[in-house]
Structure 1
């Protein structure tokens, strides 16, 4: 069983990721949290948590980990400090501790932030974080979903390196995709876009993994 650090574990999507990992036979989640009281929330559910603030030093957070999911977001409040620089800190820590794979939650539009009508600052931060990971020599998968909804997941998605269209996807299905992308053979060093669709998540990932 592999140890997986989840940055952004207290967020809406992050919580879903942690619980999926906790139910997995392959992975053991470690939730990265900012506050001491959040440690207790996870421990009540039998999930281990690590104290660390993405705006400060997180260089030891990846110690003892095998893989990392970065799903943190500032909700538009501190996009440079958290979405960009926080991501870079986690990448640096992952290099330091020789993490086997980093799965990054990005966003559709992060490839060309300058073309976005809104959220330009957010998409630029995501773009910079993605590029930093790409150049890190770590094994990675970058996942760029469309607009996130709280609809119930279907377990099926549309996935491509470039979908060439806008759309939405449930947080459930995003979380499932991120967890599936942790596997060693899934979408190695690929950047993928995902939306609602009709292909089972595992099959969709298999297609870009070959």
Structure 2
């Protein structure tokens, strides 16, 4: 059931070699509308929901997939006025998608960012009732003022850095500082009233001394992720851990949404979910982001860790019943 692991850090999405650094929401994502931008729309040749004009060049099957799996499902999701979701790591690959999906569902969100100006660049000007931004660095406990967490009901933490030394390690952005100390500081600062904490981790964290995981763990990334997991488990807070396979598809960095959609609309929409750190393979960032949001409301995922992979086939989209079945099946294997 598991696919062969690859340690190649290059994303599989066909991004341009030198992509233009445009805001993630240069076009309207899946029915979401910015306050400051309007867009012309066209209908697909087979009818259905309108799609942004810049998507005209995207092949028809991609447009149909967006209409059926994302736009349609999200438009039927009622506004969640009782939630305030704190997203930590919202400017990263998975984090950008988490924020986009929350906005599309009209779920009130609060971002904790080292550089708050990134929020405007990525998500446009948003009303405070929709998207709030707070400045803070999880690596520094002094940054985590209690006011950041006032009213927060749920937390999705998708912080991370590269497994091997890279430019992203500049400024002490190492696995030890991000995946261990940052997660520990965040969990320690959260109020006990939080209803669920979803932590994005990695497959292989329980096998970091075995091949091929020992190669990935040469600089401690799996060890530190597991330390973060363990701290969360012992914190007493209700949690769900999502252990992703090697992350693929955009956004590998900050791309405009049109580029993102072209790169991720492939055949690997189906999702495998397991337990026991047994899966070996890759996971689309889209699937990981959706799994995080789904876990917030699926009660039996509380207190458990799951692995996630992406494979060829039709995926669950944002259908909660299909995700419930996937999570439940993982527990019976």
TM-score (norm. length: structure 1)? 0.89
Task: Write out aligned runs for 1:93-132 (5 A).
Answer: 93-94=189-190, 96-115=191-210, 116-120=213-217, 121-132=220-231
Q: What residue number does 2:188 align with?
A: 92
Query: What are the Cα deviations for residues 138-174 of structure 1, in whole angstroms up to 9, with x where unaligned?
Result: 1100000111101526553101113624110110111
Report which structure shows greater RCO (CA 8 Å, sep ≥6): 2
Runs of 5+ consecutive residues of structure 1 not aligned to the other structure: none
Matches within 5 A, 1:1-210: 1=81, 2-25=83-106, 27-41=107-121, 44-46=124-126, 47-56=131-140, 57-60=143-146, 61-76=148-163, 77=169, 78-94=174-190, 96-115=191-210, 116-120=213-217, 121-150=220-249, 152=264, 155-162=269-276, 164-197=278-311, 200=316, 202=323, 203-207=325-329
Structure 2 Cα separation of the partners of residues 209 and 87 of structure 1: 26
**Structure 2 residue runs without a partner (length 5+):** 1-80, 164-168, 250-262, 317-321
CA distance in 1, matches of 2:124, 2:202: 32
**Higher strand share goes to which structure?**
1
Count of residues in Structure 1 that have an aligned counterpart in Structure 2: 208
Deviations 1:47-86 (A, max 9, x none): 3211111121324232221010010012343111111111
Q: Which residue of 1 aligns with 2:62?
A: none
Structure of larger gyration radius: 2
CA distance in 1, matches of 2:133, 2:117: 11
Residue 42 to residue 209, structure 1, CA distance change in 2 (3 Å): farther
Shift of 1:178: 0.8
Aligned-pair CA distance for 1:32: 1.1
Larger mean CA deviation between 185-194 and 52-61 belongs to 52-61
How far apart are the structure 2 equivalents of 1:165 and 1:39?
A: 34
